[in-house]
Chain A
Amino acid sequence: MDILLSPQLLAAALITGVLYALISLGLNLIYGTMRLLNVAHGDLVMIGAYVAFMAFSLFNVGPLISMFAAAIICGGLGWLAYRSVLQNLLANSEILARLEENSLLLFFGISVVVQNLVTLFFTADRQGYEYLSAIVEIADVRLTGARLAVLVVGSVISIVAVLYLRFSLFGLAMNALIQNRDASAVVGINVDRVQMYSLVIGFGITGLAGALISVLEPITPVMGFPYTMSAFVVIILGGLGNLWGGFLAGLLLGFLEIFGVAVTGPEWRSVLVYGIFIGILIFRPQGLLGHGRIAR
Chain B
Amino acid sequence: MLKRLLTASLALVGMFGLLGPAHAADPVKIGFSIPKTGLFAPAGPSQLNAYLVWQKMVNDKGGLDIGGKGRRKIEFVQYDDKSDPARAVKIYEKLITSDKVDLVMAPWGTPHHFAIAPVVERHKFPLIGNTAASVALRKVKPGYLWFTTPMMPDNLAKEMTAMLKSRSVKSVAIMYNLLPFASENIQFLMPALAKAGIKVLFEAKYPPDIKDMTGMLTKVKAKNPDAVLVYSYPGDSILYMNQAREVGINAKTQYVMVGPAIGFFRGMFKGNLDGIVTMAAWTPGMKNTTGSQEFYNAYKKMFKGHEPDYLDSVEVFVSSQILEQAIAKVGLDREKIRQAVNTMTFDTVYGKIKFDGVQNSITPAGFAQIQKGKIEVVWPKQRATSSVVDKGAWAK
Residues of chain A touching chain B, judged by Cβ–Cβ distance below 8 Å, are 3, 6, 8-9, 11-12, 15-16, 116, 119, 123-130, 133-135, 142-144, 146-147, 216-218, 220-222, 226, 257-259, 261-262, 265-267, 269-270
The answer to whether A266 and B206 touch across the interface, beta carbons within 8 angstroms, is: yes
Would you give 10 A-B contacts (Cβ < 8 Å), ordered by A?
A: A16-B212, A116-B37, A119-B41, A126-B262, A147-B246, A218-B264, A221-B41, A258-B212, A261-B215, A266-B205
The answer to whether B264 and A8 touch across the interface, beta carbons within 8 angstroms, is: no
Name B234-256 residues within 8 Å CB distance of A: 234-235, 238-239, 242-243, 245-248
**A218 to B268 CA separation, bound complex (whole angstroms):** 9
Enumerate chain B residues within 8 angstroms of A216, measured Cβ to Cβ: 238, 242
Verify if B58 is at the interface (C-beta below 8 Å from A): no
Verify if B269 is at the interface (C-beta below 8 Å from A): yes
Q: Nearest-CB distance from A11 to chain B (Å)?
A: 8
Verify if B287 is at the interface (C-beta below 8 Å from A): no
**A143 to B242 CA separation, bound complex (whole angstroms):** 9
A144-B246, A147-B242 known; A124 and B42 CB under 8 Å?
Answer: yes
Q: Nearest-CB distance from B253 to chain A (Å)?
A: 21
A126-B234, A269-B206 known; A220 and B42 CB under 8 Å?
Answer: yes
Annotate B34-45 by CB proximity to A: 1 below 8 A, 0 otherwise.
001111011011
The answer to whether A128 and B264 touch across the interface, beta carbons within 8 angstroms, is: yes
Enumerate chain B residues within 8 angstroms of A259, measured Cβ to Cβ: 215
Enumerate chain A residues within 8 angstroms of B39, measured Cβ to Cβ: 222
Q: Nearest-CB distance from B388 to chain A (Å)?
A: 24
**A129 to B216 CA separation, bound complex (whole angstroms):** 25
The answer to whether B396 and A265 touch across the interface, beta carbons within 8 angstroms, is: no
The answer to whether A9 and B37 touch across the interface, beta carbons within 8 angstroms, is: no
Q: Nearest-CB distance from B190 to chain A (Å)?
A: 16
Verify if B304 is at the interface (C-beta below 8 Å from A): no
Enumerate chain A residues within 8 angstroms of B264, measured Cβ to Cβ: 125-128, 218
The answer to whether A135 and B204 touch across the interface, beta carbons within 8 angstroms, is: no
Extra contacts, 12 of them, besides A130-B269, A269-B207 (Cβ < 8 A), are A8-B214, A16-B211, A119-B36, A130-B268, A135-B246, A135-B396, A144-B242, A147-B242, A218-B238, A220-B41, A257-B212, A269-B206
Name B244-278 residues within 8 Å CB distance of A: 245-248, 262, 264-265, 267-270, 272
Q: Closest chain B residue to A144 by CB distance?
A: B242
Instruction: Choose among A6, A133, A135, A226 the residue with the greatest number of B CB atoms under 10 Å from its CB.
Output: A133
**A261 to B204 CA separation, bound complex (whole angstroms):** 11
The answer to whether B268 and A129 touch across the interface, beta carbons within 8 angstroms, is: yes
Q: Chain B interface mostly helix, strand, loop or mixed?
A: helix
Enumerate chain B residues within 8 angstroms of A133, measured Cβ to Cβ: 242, 269-270, 272
The answer to whether B215 and A262 touch across the interface, beta carbons within 8 angstroms, is: yes
Q: Closest chain B residue to A57 by CB distance?
A: B267
**In the complex, which of the residues A130, A143, A217, A267 contacts B178, with contact meaning CB atoms closer than 8 Å?**
A267
A8-B247, A217-B238 known; A129 and B214 CB under 8 Å?
Answer: no
The answer to whether A144 and B42 touch across the interface, beta carbons within 8 angstroms, is: no
Q: Closest chain A residue to B203 by CB distance?
A: A265
**A86 to B248 CA separation, bound complex (whole angstroms):** 49
**A147 to B247 CA separation, bound complex (whole angstroms):** 13
Q: Nearest-CB distance from B254 to chain A (Å)?
A: 16
**In the complex, which of the residues B41, B178, B215, B396 contacts A124, with contact meaning CB atoms closer than 8 Å?**
B41
The answer to whether B42 and A218 touch across the interface, beta carbons within 8 angstroms, is: yes
**A265 to B178 CA separation, bound complex (whole angstroms):** 13
Enumerate chain A residues within 8 angstroms of B265, measured Cβ to Cβ: 128
Annotate B163-188 by CB proximity to A: 1 below 8 A, 0 otherwise.
00000000000010010000000000
Verify if B218 is at the interface (C-beta below 8 Å from A): yes
**In the complex, which of the residues A3, A147, A217 contacts B215, with contact meaning CB atoms closer than 8 Å?**
A3
The answer to whether A269 and B267 touch across the interface, beta carbons within 8 angstroms, is: no
**A127 to B235 CA separation, bound complex (whole angstroms):** 11
The answer to whether B212 and A3 touch across the interface, beta carbons within 8 angstroms, is: no
**A143 to B248 CA separation, bound complex (whole angstroms):** 10
**A119 to B42 CA separation, bound complex (whole angstroms):** 10
Enumerate chain B residues within 8 angstroms of A15, measured Cβ to Cβ: 212
Q: Nearest-CB distance from B221 to chain A (Å)?
A: 9
Q: Closest chain B residue to A136 by CB distance?
A: B246
Verify if B60 is at the interface (C-beta below 8 Å from A): no
Enumerate chain A residues within 8 angstroms of B238, measured Cβ to Cβ: 128, 216-218
Verify if B210 is at the interface (C-beta below 8 Å from A): yes
Verify if B123 is at the interface (C-beta below 8 Å from A): no
Annotate B138-182 by CB proximity to A: 1 below 8 A, 0 otherwise.
000000000000000000000000000000000000010010000
A129-B267, A266-B215 known; A226 and B209 CB under 8 Å?
Answer: yes
The answer to whether B234 and A130 touch across the interface, beta carbons within 8 angstroms, is: no
Verify if B394 is at the interface (C-beta below 8 Å from A): yes
Q: Nearest-CB distance from B216 to chain A (Å)?
A: 6
**A192 to B215 CA separation, bound complex (whole angstroms):** 46
A3-B215, A267-B204 known; A217 and B235 CB under 8 Å?
Answer: yes
The answer to whether A218 and B210 touch across the interface, beta carbons within 8 angstroms, is: no
**In the complex, which of the residues A12, A116, A134, A267 contacts B214, with contact meaning CB atoms closer than 8 Å?**
A12
Enumerate chain A residues within 8 angstroms of B381, measured Cβ to Cβ: none
A8-B218, A134-B396 known; A222 and B42 CB under 8 Å?
Answer: yes
**A265 to B205 CA separation, bound complex (whole angstroms):** 8
Verify if B374 is at the interface (C-beta below 8 Å from A): no
